[in-house]
């Protein structure tokens, strides 16, 4: 219930944050809604908590053919956003994450770097072909989100790196997107979540909650689900989740198709 | 009087609760307080070879690391009071093994992380049916040494244990108790039936999930009195247990029952020794506030149960025979189990021509079982009410009409051999039968279903006393020692106001501690309003006699010709001849006063219980693709005797029904095959949320209890009993298949649909 | 090991003496004696610890005290003004929105956040907003009715 002893530092800007994150076992904290729970369980034991929550990395802006979402944008802010055409899945998903209190503090960036294999928004971002702008002391790099998730709670980010932008390309005109999920009744995390993007170029579906990381389905969704490596547990077996994935993917597609011009 | 009883007044404690002023047990400031953190066993069955304390003791702020031998416990038993920390043998994963005591909670937690316990693993007994077989490894190697395990069973429901052992059945030493209840010719009754159905029903361990984790603070006063400030349902029970275990005279133990943040049966003399022991050993105040994870692992949830049941009926719907074999997983509770109550309640509120019910209390390497709202009843009702629906289907009878045909009425002989007092079974069933939801059950969309079920609770009995004292401002203070778990204080205020003749706003209720408060039993068993309320009524009447005697002198009118209304004593028929209660009090409560203080003491010792029955309608929609069950609507009709305060009664009805929905669809404490708890937090154990509980329509039925205050009964437990069964029957109606295991999680419903 | 964090609590400037790891809920309860904020779980789900941070409902068990520096916190003790109950508090009393009362402060503060954004929420909206507030006693209906009444659409 009480975290292991740690120090607290507040970053004044991104460079300062990167400097502070140079200490071994330093951890950045934004909204804290992912980090603090694991600190309380003493699974995470940072030497210093680097508070980046007051940096100017929030806000949602459309420019250069993409929606740029500041990593410190809270779920509440995202849920209240009027999205550009075809990006309905973003506020739709944000509205259902956690609860009111979590949404008031939890950030999109914090969730991405926490990389819980059952979190919802990564599926949406994957289906939408999002990428991240990542800053380190060496400069900036852009990484496709699909290359960021390496495993449960593991990302391609180094210890001294920060996400500075979440970039979602604007879909082609006439596109529609949607998110559907079945939740675990206790945790609220996705037993299976599916995000779909439907447009003139085709249909993309991404799943979360069923594997080591969220992932995009290759080719026909139903075939891909039948072949995918899906895990099960005591509550929900592999057989059940596979079938559920099929159902939820279909529901997300149906909703996305309805929103598109297809 | 009619404007007080039956009025939905706000709770007397509401203003303090909505402003955060209420001091719960973890809230009070105590000078010099130390904080305890338990170290819980990680093995389900093991011998303790040693406990490494050194690293923990080195943490700044840690004052002590205590094991069983460090606590001054005087008794040798294996109950949680006598053995708050495991001595040599760990019998469930989560059992407290050591206590780290420190100046701050953080230091205590830092220290607890560093305590290393060396275990020698023993075979863990986790399958309750396998545990019964001769030759099965024993869940506990050490013999139960102490018969004085304290009488914790009777505080929930005094039920006899039927006949003695049936020597015909050879069972292992894990079977701690066997109950046999037989009457009539079972074979003949089955033979005369036109329909016989049977099934095996499984229910899991279920957690009370009170929002306030268990907490206790203990300290020694300079005079040597041990003060125990605790979140408890039973101050006197706790005092008795602590005095027994630590060999202290009763008058040296003072138990203060703090406001309860929910309990539902789980807070009866369980964790106090874990604060008392260190307080006595270290001679400093010690507080133990369990974390939620510790509360999940180490407290006392409700037993898992396997019920094999077979029932028969004739084609006119008359119930003939019921046979049941009910296996109760007691976990590591050697002292008592619900096999007594579940077997007594298996036949439900119905007449049968013959019954043969056997209950088995089996020990396994799991939690110490504890009581949870109507212990043993929801599990019995799930089996019975599911099978009754199958009978109705086979016989092509309306499920409610069939139950009406057999429902107990006043005078019928119940399981205990006594005639039933006035009982609202017929009334509540008729209210459901006439409800529009029931009439439209066959014309619903194909994924929806409506189910019904009934469940009752016999109602507990325990003598009680109360004091009503009028103060010099003419208001009244009611004193009891009953822990206010369900809002009883608001009921007491209304009873006292109505019986004496004051406005309810002029009555306050205080909960005294064991050192000077009038006796009451634990708050549980659905008996507080019935028994303590009756004592309050008599106390108020006794005080009223005093004020009448004084007023008679003042007014020179005979007491019989006076009445007390809204704080004024006046002549019947001539209200201008009057004196206020306040004036009398002021004349009494002063130097040289001429009247006795206006105080009354009342006691009660009812011998006839007041059973309450609730019947439910559940309306569900099943998503056949995902297996999710959505609760659309719920109706509960309950016989409450007399609704002293309809809003509080409805609150109990809704709360109980909602807990039943949790039993039905969401709640399960699951272990791995080594007996370790897998679902030890609200991340895994789902209690119903506001989104998942539907609107609950309440129908209050009043069949007055002859011995209850203004006819009221205890009503806290009946509302949960039939709720899981009603939801199960609704799901069966929706999908055409029955589930024989709770909870009916989406994967299980999905699987049933495809089998 | 102790740091000083300045916050505004219930309209008054206060100083919290905390460690890096100290949670806001502990700073409020143990540091300032504001025990109306309760601890009901350890996985950030039950909502009994809910307070308002700059007017928004948050779980104080999932906020480091340090993070609240220079921010405005409202606890349940700060809702009533000039001895008058807040409309939500009055509604919970009059419409029977509580039983044991342990979840109540958190529920009321979440409701305050909701009503500040949506003055007349539907029952469905209310129930959705209460997802992060667990109650074991009431079955939620009294809570929903109280919030509805406070919102003025009863």
Flag whether pLDDT at B193 surpasses 60: yes
Q: How far is CA C42 from CA A255, B106, B288, C18, in A?
A: 37, 14, 15, 20
- pLDDT at position B145: 43
Q: What is the pLDDT of residues A71-106, one digit of tens each?
A: 999 999 999 999 999 999 999 999 999 999 999 999
Q: Same structural domain for residues A200 and A155?
A: no
CB < 8 Å to A7, chain C? 20
Q: Same structural domain for residues A71 and A165?
A: yes
B654 contacts C141? CB cut-off 8 A:
yes
A243 contacts B750? CB cut-off 8 A:
yes
Residue A103 lies inside a defined structural domain of this protein: yes
Flag whether pLDDT at A174 surpasses 50: yes
Q: Same structural domain for residues A93 and A135?
A: yes
The torsion angles phi and psi of B642, rounded to 5 degrees, stand at -150, 130
Please report how many Cα atoms fall inside a 13 Å half-sphere around the Cα of residue B187, on the Cβ side.
0
> By the 8 A CB rule, do B351 and B412 touch?
yes
Minimum-distance CB partner of B693 among C39, C41, C139:
C139
Minimum-distance CB partner of A3 among C21, C69, C114:
C21
C19 contacts A102? CB cut-off 8 A:
no
Flag whether pLDDT at A123 surpasses 90: yes
Interatomic CA distance for residues A133 and C70, integer angstroms: 30
- pLDDT at position B150: 47
- Closest by Cα among A223, A212, A256, A228 to A93: A256
Distance between A236 CA and the closest CA of chain B, angstroms: 6
Least confident segment among B34-48, B128-142, B369-383: B128-142
Distance between C19 CA and the closest CA of chain A, angstroms: 7
Residue A201: which domain range? Answer: 176-259
Do strands B305-313 and B195-203 pair parallel, antiparallel, or not at all (unpaired)? antiparallel
Query: Which of C16, C49, C65, C132 to substitute to test the interface with A, most A CBs within 10 Å?
Result: C132
Interatomic CA distance for residues C151 and C131, integer angstroms: 18
Residue B160 confidence class, pLDDT cut points 50, 70, 90: low
Residues above pLDDT 70, as percent of chain B: 96
- pLDDT at position B210: 98
Q: What is the pLDDT of residues C139-151, one digit of tens each?
A: 999 999 999 999 9
CATH number of domain containing A104 = 3.30.465.10
Query: Which of C18, C23, C59 to substitute to test the interface with A, most A CBs within 10 Å?
Result: C59
> By the 8 A CB rule, do B346 and B159 touch?
no
Q: Is residue A185 less than 8 Å (CB to CB) from chain C?
A: no
CB < 8 Å to B648, chain C? 96
Q: Same structural domain for residues A189 and A230?
A: yes
- pLDDT at position B169: 81
- The set of residues, in sequence order, having a beta carbon less than 8 Å from that of A190 and lying 6+ positions away, is A118, A119, A120, A123, A181, A182, A183, A184, A208, A209
B747 contacts A240? CB cut-off 8 A:
yes
Interatomic CA distance for residues A191 and A119, integer angstroms: 10
Average pLDDT over residues B425-442: 98
CB < 8 Å to A101, chain C? 47, 50, 57-59, 62, 110, 132
State which of A169, A185, A206 marks the end of a domain: A169
Q: Same structural domain for residues A237 and A216?
A: yes
Average pLDDT over residues C20-24: 98
Q: Is residue B651 less than 8 Å (CB to CB) from chain C?
A: yes
Q: Is residue B674 less than 8 Å (CB to CB) from chain A?
A: no
State which of A134, A169, A204 marks the end of a domain: A169
The torsion angles phi and psi of B181, rounded to 5 degrees, stand at -125, 115
Distance between A79 CA and the closest CA of chain C, angstroms: 13
Q: What is the pLDDT of residues A219-256, one digit of tens each?
A: 999 999 999 999 999 999 999 999 999 999 999 999 99
CB < 8 Å to A51, chain C? 64, 66-67
Flag whether pLDDT at B316 surpasses 90: yes
B686 contacts A184? CB cut-off 8 A:
yes
Average pLDDT over residues B93-107: 98
Q: Same structural domain for residues A84 and A38?
A: no
Minimum-distance CB partner of B17 among C88, C98, C126:
C98
Domains for chain C: give ranges and CATH numbers.
Answer: 3-78 (3.10.20.30), 87-153 (1.10.150.120)
Distance between B110 CA and the closest CA of chain C, angstroms: 12
The position carrying tokens 């004696």 is: C33
Helix H or strand E encompassing A199: strand A190-199
Q: Same structural domain for residues A155 and A208?
A: no
Residue A163 lies inside a defined structural domain of this protein: yes
CA dihedral B493, B498, B500, B503 (to 10 degrees): 70
Interatomic CA distance for residues B572 and B593, integer angstroms: 27
Q: Is residue C59 less than 8 Å (CB to CB) from chain A?
A: yes
Distance between C125 CA and the closest CA of chain B, angstroms: 9
For B564-680, where are the alpha helices, taking DSSP H only? 581-588, 646-665
C-alpha C140 chain-centroid distance: 17
Q: Is residue A228 less than 8 Å (CB to CB) from chain C?
A: no
Q: Same structural domain for residues A163 and A181?
A: no
- Terminal C-alpha separation, chain C: 52
Nearest residue on chain A to B293, judged by CA atoms?
Answer: A1
C-alpha B96 chain-centroid distance: 24
Q: Same structural domain for residues A165 and A214?
A: no
Distance between C124 CA and the closest CA of chain B, angstroms: 8
Flag whether pLDDT at A192 surpasses 70: yes
Q: Same structural domain for residues A71 and A164?
A: yes
Q: Which chains touch C (3 or more CB pairs under 8 A)?
A: A, B
Nearest residue on chain C to A5, judged by CA atoms?
Answer: C21
Label each residue of B427-482 as H, E or C.
HHHHHHHCCHHHHCHHHCCCCEEEEEEEEEECCCCCCEEEEEEECCCCCEEEEECC
Flag whether pLDDT at B60 surpasses 70: yes
B105 contacts A2? CB cut-off 8 A:
yes
Mean pLDDT (chain B) is 94
B293 contacts A1? CB cut-off 8 A:
yes
| Number of domains observed in the structure of chain A | 3
C138 contacts B212? CB cut-off 8 A:
no
- pLDDT at position B151: 53
Q: What is the pLDDT of residues A23-66, one digit of tens each?
A: 999 999 999 999 999 999 999 999 999 999 999 999 999 999 99
Q: Same structural domain for residues A161 and A85?
A: yes
State which of A142, A169, A196 marks the end of a domain: A169
Residues above pLDDT 90, as percent of chain B: 91
Residue A1 lies inside a defined structural domain of this protein: no
Residue A180 lies inside a defined structural domain of this protein: yes
Q: Same structural domain for residues A79 and A153?
A: yes
Query: Which of B750, B751, B753, B754 to substitute to test the interface with A, most A CBs within 10 Å?
Result: B750
Residue A19 lies inside a defined structural domain of this protein: yes
Average pLDDT over residues B359-372: 96
Minimum-distance CB partner of C45 among B24, B654, B682:
B682
Would you give the DSSP letter of residue B594? -
C20 contacts A32? CB cut-off 8 A:
no
CATH number of domain containing A224 = 3.30.390.50
Q: What is the pLDDT of residues C36-90, one digit of tens each?
A: 999 999 999 999 999 999 999 999 999 999 999 999 999 999 999 888 999 999 9
Interatomic CA distance for residues C116 and C120, integer angstroms: 10
Interatomic CA distance for residues A220 and A207, integer angstroms: 13
Do strands C12-18 and B599-604 pair parallel, antiparallel, or not at all (unpaired)? unpaired
Q: What is the pTM of this model?
A: 0.96
Mean pLDDT (chain A) is 96
Residue A230 lies inside a defined structural domain of this protein: yes
Residue A144 lies inside a defined structural domain of this protein: yes
Residue A54 lies inside a defined structural domain of this protein: no
B678 contacts A234? CB cut-off 8 A:
yes
């Amino acid at each position: 219930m009480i975290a292991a002893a740690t120090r607290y530092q507040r970053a004044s800007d991104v460079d300062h944050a990167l400097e502070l994150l140079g200490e071994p076992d330093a951890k950045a904290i934004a909204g804290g809604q992912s980090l603090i729970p694991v600190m309380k369980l003493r699974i995470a034991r940072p030497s210093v908590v680097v508070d980046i929550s007051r940096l100017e990395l929030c806000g949602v802006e459309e420019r250069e053919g993409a929606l740029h979402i500041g990593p410190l944008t809270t779920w509440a802010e995202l849920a209240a956003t009027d999205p550009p055409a075809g990006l309905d899945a973003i506020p739709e998903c944000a509205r259902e994450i956690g609860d009111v209190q979590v949404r008031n503090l939890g950030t999109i960036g914090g969730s991405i770097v926490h990389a819980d294999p059952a979190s919802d928004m990564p599926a949406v971002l994957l289906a939408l072909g999002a990428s991240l702008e990542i800053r380190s002391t060496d400069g900036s790099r852009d990484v496709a989100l699909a290359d960021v998730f390496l495993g449960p709670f593991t990302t391609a980010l180094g210890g001294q790196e920060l996400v500075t932008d979440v970039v979602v390309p604007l879909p082609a005109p006439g596109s529609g997107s949607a998110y559907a999920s079945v939740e675990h009744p206790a945790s609220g995390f996705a037993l299976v979540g599916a995000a779909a993007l439907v447009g003139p170029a085709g249909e993309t579906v991404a799943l979360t909650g069923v594997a080591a990381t969220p992932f995009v389905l290759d080719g026909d969704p139903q075939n891909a689900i039948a072949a995918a490596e899906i895990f099960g547990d005591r509550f929900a077996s592999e057989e059940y989740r596979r079938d559920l994935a099929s159902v939820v993917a279909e529901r997300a597609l149906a909703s996305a198709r309805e929103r598109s011009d297809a | 009087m009619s404007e007080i009883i039956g009025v939905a007044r706000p709770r007397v404690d509401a203003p303090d609760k909505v402003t955060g002023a209420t001091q719960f047990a973890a809230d009070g400031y105590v000078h010099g307080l130390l904080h305890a953190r338990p170290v819980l066993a990680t093995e389900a069955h093991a011998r303790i070879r040693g406990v490494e304390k050194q690293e923990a003791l080195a943490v700044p702020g840690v004052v002590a690391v205590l094991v069983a031998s460090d606590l001054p416990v005087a008794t040798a038993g294996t109950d949680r009071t006598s053995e708050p920390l495991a001595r040599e043998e760990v019998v469930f994963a989560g059992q407290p093994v050591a206590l780290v005591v420190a100046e701050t909670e953080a230091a205590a937690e830092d220290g607890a992380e560093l305590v290393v316990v060396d275990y020698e693993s023993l075979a863990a007994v986790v399958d309750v049916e396998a545990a019964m077989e001769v030759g099965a490894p024993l869940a506990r190697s050490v013999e139960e040494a102490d018969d004085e395990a304290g009488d914790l069973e009777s505080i929930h429901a005094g039920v006899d244990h039927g006949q003695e052992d049936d020597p015909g059945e050879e069972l292992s030493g894990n079977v701690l108790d066997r109950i046999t209840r037989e009457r009539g010719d079972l074979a003949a009754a089955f033979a005369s039936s036109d329909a016989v159905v049977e099934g095996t029903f499984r229910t899991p361990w279920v957690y009370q999930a009170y929002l306030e984790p268990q907490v206790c603070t203990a300290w020694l006063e300079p005079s040597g009195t041990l003060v125990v400030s605790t979140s408890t349902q039973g101050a006197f029970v706790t005092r008795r247990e602590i005095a027994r275990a630590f060999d202290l005279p009763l008058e040296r133990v003072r138990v203060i029952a703090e406001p309860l943040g929910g309990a539902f049966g789980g807070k009866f003399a369980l964790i106090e020794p874990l604060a008392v022991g260190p307080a006595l050993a270290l001679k400093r105040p010690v507080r133990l506030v369990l974390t939620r994870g510790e509360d999940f692992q180490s407290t006392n949830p409700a037993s898992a149960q396997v019920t094999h049941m077979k029932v028969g009926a004739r084609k006119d719907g008359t119930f003939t025979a019921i046979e049941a074999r009910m296996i109760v997983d007691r976990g590591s509770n050697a002292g008592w189990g619900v096999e007594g109550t579940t077997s007594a309640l298996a036949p439900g509120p119905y007449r049968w021509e013959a019954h043969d019910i056997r209950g088995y209390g089996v020990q396994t390497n799991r939690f110490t079982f504890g009581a949870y709202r109507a212990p043993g009843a929801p599990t019995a009702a799930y089996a019975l009410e599911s099978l009754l629906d199958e009978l109705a289907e086979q016989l092509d009878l309306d499920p409610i009409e069939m139950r009406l045909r057999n429902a107990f009425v006043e005078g019928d002989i119940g399981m205990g051999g006594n005639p039933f007092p006035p009982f609202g079974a017929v009334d509540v069933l008729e209210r459901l039968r006439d409800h529009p939801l029931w009439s439209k059950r066959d014309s619903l969309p194909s994924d929806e279903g409506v189910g019904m079920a009934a469940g009752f609770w016999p109602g507990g009995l325990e003598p009680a006393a109360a004091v009503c004292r009028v103060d010099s401002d003419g208001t009244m203070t009611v004193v009891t020692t009953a822990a206010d778990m369900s809002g009883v204080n608001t009921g007491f205020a209304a009873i006292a106001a109505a019986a004496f003749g004051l406005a309810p706003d002029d009555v306050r209720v205080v909960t005294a501690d064991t050192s000077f408060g009038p006796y009451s039993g634990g708050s549980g068993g659905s008996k507080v309003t019935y028994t303590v309320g009756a004592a309050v009524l008599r106390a108020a009447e006794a005080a009223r006699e005093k004020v009448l005697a004084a007023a008679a002198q003042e007014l020179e009118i005979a007491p019989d010709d006076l009445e007390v209304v809204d704080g004024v004593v006046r002549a019947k028929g001539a209200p201008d001849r009057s004196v206020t209660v306040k004036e009398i009090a002021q004349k009494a409560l002063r130097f040289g006063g001429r009247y006795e203080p206006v105080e009354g003491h009342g006691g009660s010792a009812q011998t006839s219980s007041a059973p309450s029955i609730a019947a439910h309608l559940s309306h569900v929609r099943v998503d056949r693709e995902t297996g999710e069950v959505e609760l659309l609507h719920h109706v509960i009709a309950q016989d409450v005797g007399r609704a002293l305060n309809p809003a509080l009664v409805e609150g109990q009805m809704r709360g109980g029904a909602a807990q039943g929905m949790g039993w039905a669809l969401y709640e399960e404490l699951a272990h791995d095959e080594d007996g370790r708890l897998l679902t030890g937090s609200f991340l895994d154990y789902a209690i119903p949320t506001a989104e998942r509980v539907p609107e609950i329509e309440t129908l209050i039925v009043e069949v007055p209890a002859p011995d209850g205050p203004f006819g009221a009964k205890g009503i806290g437990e009946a509302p949960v009993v039939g709720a899981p069964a009603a939801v199960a029957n609704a799901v069966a109606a929706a999908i055409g298949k029955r589930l024989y295991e709770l909870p009916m999680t989406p994967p299980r419903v999905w699987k049933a649909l495809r089998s | 090991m102790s740091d000083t964090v300045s916050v505004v609590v219930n309209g008054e400037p206060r100083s919290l003496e905390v460690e890096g790891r100290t949670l806001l809920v502990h700073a409020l309860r143990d540091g300032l004696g504001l025990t109306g904020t309760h601890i009901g779980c350890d996985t950030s789900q039950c909502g009994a610890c809910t307070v308002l941070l700059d007017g928004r409902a948050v779980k104080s068990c999932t906020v480091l005290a340090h993070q609240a520096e220079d921010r405005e916190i409202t606890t349940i003790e700060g809702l009533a003004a000039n001895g008058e109950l807040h409309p939500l508090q009055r509604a919970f009393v009059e419409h029977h929105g509580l039983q044991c009362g342990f979840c109540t402060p958190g529920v009321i503060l979440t409701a305050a956040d909701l009503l500040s954004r949506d003055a007349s929420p539907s029952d469905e909206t209310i129930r959705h907003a209460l997802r992060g507030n667990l109650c074991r006693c009431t079955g939620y209906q009294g809570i929903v009715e109280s919030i509805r009444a406070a919102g003025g659409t009863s």
